[in-house]
Amino acid sequence: MELKHTLTTCIYCGCGCGLYLVSDGQKLTGAYPSKNHPVSRGSLCVKGWNCHEFANDVNRLTVPMIKKNGKLRESTWDEALDLMAKKFNGYKEKYGPDSLAFLSSAKTSNEENYLMMKLARAVFKTNNIDHCARLCHASTVVGLAATFGSGAMTNSINEFEEAELILITGSDTTEQHPLIGSRVVNAVRDRGARLIVIDPRKIELAKYAAIHVQPKNGTDVAWINGLMHVILKEGWHNTKFIQERTEGFAELKNLVKEYTPECVEKITTIPKQQLIEIARLYAQTKKAMIIYSMGITQHTTGVDNVKSLANLAMVTGHLGYECSGVNPLRGQNNVQGSCDAGALPNVYSGYQSVADEAQRKKFEQAWGVEGLPAKPGLTVTEIVTALGSGKVKGLYIMGENPVISDPDSHHVRECLSKAEFLVVQDIFLTDTAEYAHVVLPSAAFSEKDGTFTNTERRVERIRKALDPPGKAKADWQILGEVAQRAGYPKMKYDHPAEVMAEMARVTPIYGGISYERLDPYGLQWPCPAKDHPGTPVLHREKFTKGKGTFMPRPYLPPAESADQDYPFTLSTGRMYWHWHTRTMTNRTSTLERESPEPYVEMHSADAKELGVRNGEMVKVTSRRGYIVLKTKVGAKVAKRSIFIPFHFREAAANILTINAVDPSAKIPEYKVCAVQVEKI
């Protein structure tokens, strides 16, 4: 039997590793890394090595389904799509366009996210479109766009290996982005780089760190302002960079005066001498890079945190050249591309504002429509709440599982149960799909062509290795058929390359990108013209917005803090063996074997006080609900803090989390909420 080897891009994290899928014509039989790919370089994490397995699962959705008398039954494509088009057109006509909403997906391709936002805007005339970036890096998009003009990594992954100093905060890098974590370890172990880890948990990288401090959850603005206080007081700032390339410095200088090391220690518990040493090392090292992720963004002050890190980099001039910058590590495989493609309520592709009349006219002309809406739409959490209140009548979800991923799961379930008409398009019957009135079976990443954009802005090909099972179709094909049945014929494409060509015509940062140019390993945006080589480092001569803008932010406490009734602080996050809501990894035997059940990390002193031993069951309760799960006792978290991975539906951490959101990015505060812990 002849085996086929298909070069593609991994479906899991934002690293965007290149790998080969092995198939025998009927199913996938294996996966292995591309030796020459600039990210994977012959390596993969355990999820990458096993990324083929879930696609073969017997529980794949293979036919459309319609709910009748409370139960889903098989249907034809014609029946399912005609019903959907009839319902959505009816709601639009009777209640107006904003009675509809659309959730796109960071698991689907750039082309599919572009088509989902085109469907929402060109066909149904609503800006109620969002996706899971709202839950992970909305703060980055808002914060870095305001300070730098571009909400993305300023550098490239391979630069981490050449850096002299790496400051990591709010990122468990070896667990979440293993191939980037390996670059950091290589820089420290093989090249003598200094590593500073600022994280409430004692993550794996802490053992490689020159300095590791554990601030209280939710106090990031205070310690970042404290670093800048020390840097300015000691004269370690980059005066030339500040004068020539930034604006608003006087306001920043005035604000950080009050954040003395003594003040910061009281707020954060970071010892003042360590704060001073961190400031000295970061400011006085030329090739200094900041890495952050959702430990920074998932707060009611997430945008303030991001803006503060941007301020820190500008104060020291650590921007605009190799191995020096601000680098948010994007979570899912295509969360960067989903944002780039415009699956957001306030922008078209390439972050072009829906409120800008010139941009609306441009897209109206490109799409052959009139009357594109100018008012930004609802975000993920707002859409769910509006569904429960009846403001949103019809919701179309592609590749998202909000029942597990969104905060306050009981609230999400209640709202979905009240939906007048819910369509879910996915590869498995998820917890969310069980609430659907129509379920549409879609192709996995291995069964279609398209592109993903990784965390370093690298636009990469995914390539079809097999046909989808049964009657399942690629998401881009389904979206096109929905549009045509709804009365819009201009979404008929023969191949995703045609969608990318259209996207390039209306999206300046993707203007020079085509499938021909992406072979073999992609291009980094901005790539504005067909002869442009792509951009490994942003803001070289000037910032995307011209001058970088200092945006000083005061420290504000979290929405909910521990108290007498709920004395522990909960933070949630990911783990190495699983991904997101486990729709895929719980169907992968190797990953399930290594980590088959949920757990809560707690400090040994707290466990002793509660009379709990390692592996014993506890009940964790917040003001929103409770879950029961096993303990992992040790010193990874601080006293009176606990950590729970959010992947497990069996003890869903988001039953506990608060649905308070950042006022501008509308990202939920997953990293801080108050809970009780009781021995069972």
Q: Are 75 and 63 in contact (CB under 8 A)?
A: yes
Reading the block at residue 521, the tokens are: 């390993």
Percent of the chain having pLDDT more than 70?
100
* pLDDT for 405: 79
With cut-offs at 50, 70 and 90, classify the pLDDT of residue 199. Answer: very high
With cut-offs at 50, 70 and 90, classify the pLDDT of residue 408. Answer: confident
Helices (H), 148-238: 173-176, 178-191, 220-234
* pLDDT for 138: 86
Reading the block at residue 367, the tokens are: 């799409």
Can you tell me the distance from the alpha carbon of 180 to that of 17, in angstroms, rounded to the nearest whole number? 10
DSSP result, 595-619:
--S-EEEEEHHHHHHHT--TT-EEE
Can you tell me the distance from the alpha carbon of 604 to that of 623, in angstroms, rounded to the nearest whole number? 25
pLDDT at residue 414 tops 80: yes
Length of the chain equals: 680
Percent of the chain having pLDDT more than 90?
87
Average pLDDT, the chain: 94
* pLDDT for 91: 98
pLDDT tens by residue, 11-57: 999 999 999 999 998 999 999 999 999 999 999 999 999 999 999 99
* pLDDT for 567: 96
pLDDT at residue 647 tops 90: no
pLDDT at residue 275 tops 90: yes
* pLDDT for 272: 97
Q: Are 486 and 124 in contact (CB under 8 A)?
A: yes
pLDDT tens by residue, 333-378: 999 999 999 999 999 999 999 999 999 999 999 999 999 999 999 9
pLDDT at residue 574 tops 90: no
pLDDT tens by residue, 422-474: 999 999 999 999 999 999 999 999 999 999 999 999 999 999 999 999 999 99
Which residue would you say has higher pLDDT here, 266 or 663? 266
CA-CA-CA-CA torsion for 152, 157, 159, 163, nearest 10 degrees? 90
Instruction: List phi, psi (to 5°) of 432.
Output: -70, -40
pLDDT tens by residue, 583-626: 787 788 888 888 888 899 999 999 999 999 999 999 999 999 99
* pLDDT for 525: 94
pLDDT at residue 580 tops 80: no
- Going along the chain from its start, the domains and CATH numbers come out as 4-52 (2.20.25.90), 65-136+334-448+458-463+476-495 (3.40.50.740), 154-328 (3.40.228.10), 568-679 (2.40.40.20)
Query: Could you tell me the CA-to-CA distances from 221 to 12, 198, 216, 555, 657 in Å, in that order?
Result: 30, 12, 11, 5, 21
* pLDDT for 221: 98
Burial of 260 (0-12, 13-18, 19+ CB in 10 A): middle
pLDDT tens by residue, 87-145: 999 999 999 999 999 999 999 999 999 999 999 999 999 999 999 888 778 899 899 99
pLDDT tens by residue, 162-180: 999 999 999 999 999 999 9
Query: What one-letter code names the amino acid at 448?
Result: K
With cut-offs at 50, 70 and 90, classify the pLDDT of residue 77. Answer: very high
pLDDT tens by residue, 474-510: 999 999 999 999 999 989 999 999 999 999 999 999 9
pLDDT at residue 146 tops 90: yes
Question: In this structure, are strands 617-622 and 625-634 parallel, antiparallel, or unpaired?
Answer: antiparallel
Question: For 588, how many CA atoms within 13 A lie in the half-sphere containing its CB?
Answer: 26
Q: Are 168 and 174 in contact (CB under 8 A)?
A: no
Can you tell me the distance from the alpha carbon of 364 to that of 361, in angstroms, rounded to the nearest whole number? 5
